[in-house]
Amino acid sequence: MRRLGLLSVAVLLAACSKNEPPPEPVRPVLSIKVQALNEETLGRFAGSIQARYESNTGFRVGGRIASRNVDVGAEVEKGTLLATLDPSDQQNQLRSAQGDLARVQAQLINAQANARRQQALFDRGVGAQAQLDIATTDLKTTQASLEQARAAVNQSKDQLDYTQLRSDHKAVVTAWNAEAGQVVTAGQQVVTLAQPDIKEAVIDLPDTLVDQIPSDVVFLVAAQLDPSINTTATIREIEPQAQSATRTRRARLTLAETPPGFRLGTAISVTLSSAIKPRIELPATAIQEVDGKTRIWVIDTQNKTVNPRDVSVISRTDGTVVLAGGVKNGEQVVSAGVNSLKPGQSVKLDEDSQ
């Protein structure tokens, strides 16, 4: 009888347990933390750091380049010798001018002596006035020829000095346009020098975007190899006409700061953004359409449960939606698997969720 009573109690307990619903399973979900957007990205473009001031330098006389003394990338001080021409022609011109000067100096000595003799004869009353006038005129003519010969010598020395191309300021050599042995003309571009003190960012913008850039646009300039090296910039100038081949216009940006990592030629990435009214942007997979209503699932991070919340969608793009509120900045919402959730259901947050 005792065994029969225990069996009856066990049967009753089993019958009661069959009527209780099984507990809801804990469902793993992907989630995302809500972050309000305060700015709109207009585009990202590649560019480089360049010097604001560059000069294309060449020889002031023509000739054959005898040597190149510095390479591209070299930092040079004021007066540094960059290149030289073969000075043979200029040296010959200087010798000729110096010979002419010596000849005129000898003529001047004779003219001075003749003028003194004619003056002495005229003073004693045995010389004619005409002879004295001729001697005086010859002396003045010879003195003028001497000044001309001296100027020719100085000019020849300058021409010889012009066979040496020197930097007229502290600079960095960015390009060579002629090689040793090449014959160049006076004023022909030979080397490009950049002043390293003032740098700027240079990018090419699509012609269609230039006219749409708002006045409050912000340029974020970052090094491509190390994005932690960055600064902001503003537009200094934009080319008035687009290039016919690429339909882009070159823009030069003034940097707010110049980090040490921004060397001349550094490859940069420039992001254009504009301030907007704060808005919430979520992936489209976080949205659920139920009975004509749009809702999201908000996670209670303390209890690890989810509950639905109705929201209004402002706009939709490929893969994202923009909400008109309904969720606070910093809250965590389910970003995938919303169609299989129930109110108050326990969830397990995936470690890779963002």
CB 24 within 8 A of CB 345: yes
Long-range pairs for 99-105: beta carbons < 8 A, 24 or more residues apart:
100/149, 100/152, 101/146, 101/149, 101/150, 101/152, 101/153, 103/149, 104/142, 104/145, 104/146, 104/148, 104/149, 105/146, 105/149
Task: Supply angle C-alpha 139, 141, 143, rounded to 5.
Answer: 70
Yes or no: domain 41-52+196-277 corresponds to CATH 2.40.30.170: yes
Q: In this predicted model, what pLDDT tens digit does every residue of 16-42 receive, in sequence order?
A: 555 555 566 777 878 888 877 766 667
Domain boundaries along the sequence of the chain: 23-37+279-349, 41-52+196-277, 60-86+163-194, 88-161
Strands (E), 34-95: 36-51, 54-57, 63-68, 75-76, 81-85
Q: Enumerate helices (H) and strands (E) in the chain, giving the number of each.
A: 4, 22
125: left (phi over 0), alpha (psi -120 to 50) or beta: left
DSSP 150-168: HHHHHHHHHHHHTTEEE-S
Query: Residue 201 class from Cβ within 10 Å (0-12 exposed, 13-18 middle, 19+ buried)?
Result: buried
pLDDT of res. 39? 62
The rounded mean pLDDT for the chain is 85
Predicted confidence at residue 325, as pLDDT, reads 72
What does the pLDDT read at residue 78?
92
* Residues 176, 190 contacting (CB under 8 angstroms): yes
CATH topology of domain 60-86+163-194: OB fold (Dihydrolipoamide Acetyltransferase, E2P) (2.40.50)
pLDDT at residue 352, as a whole number: 45
Residue 306: C-alpha distances to residues 33, 63, 173, 311, 328 (Å): 14, 84, 64, 15, 15
Residues 167 and 80: beta-carbon distance below 8 Å? yes
Closest CA to 64 of 88, 81, 82, 80: 88
Phi, psi torsion values for 183, nearest 5 degrees: -90, 130
Residue 352 burial (10 A CB sphere; 0-12, 13-18, 19+):
exposed
pLDDT at 38: 64
For domain 88-161, the question of CATH label 1.10.287 is answered with yes
Q: How far apart are CA 348 and CA 346, in angstroms?
A: 7
Asked if residue 200 lies in contact with residue 255, where contact means CB atoms within 8 angstroms, the answer is yes
Query: Is the whole-model pTM more than 0.85?
Result: no
What is the rounded distance in angstroms from the CA atom of residue 199 to the CA atom of residue 3? 97
Please tell me the total number of residues recorded for the chain in this structure.
Answer: 354
Spatial neighbors of 171 by CB under 8 A, at least 6 apart, are 55, 75, 76, 193, 194, 195, 196
pLDDT tens profile 237-288? 999 988 888 889 999 999 999 999 999 889 999 988 766 666 788 888 888 8
Angle, helices 88-124 vs 129-161, to 10°: value is 160
Place of tokens 């002043």: 195
**Do 55 and 190 meet the contact criterion of CB atoms below 8 Å apart?**
no
* CATH fit for domain 23-37+279-349, picks 1.50.10.10, 3.60.21.10, 2.40.420.20, 3.30.565.10: 2.40.420.20
Q: How far is CA 317 from CA 38, 301, 314, 321, in A?
A: 18, 29, 10, 6
Instruction: Work out the burial of residue 112: count CB atoms within 10 Å of its CB; fewer than 13 is exposed, 13-18 middle, 19 or more buried.
Output: middle
Low-confidence ranges of the chain (pLDDT < 70): 1-24, 38-41, 274-278, 350-354
- Structure confidence at residue 319 (pLDDT): 81
C-alpha of 350 from chain center: 42
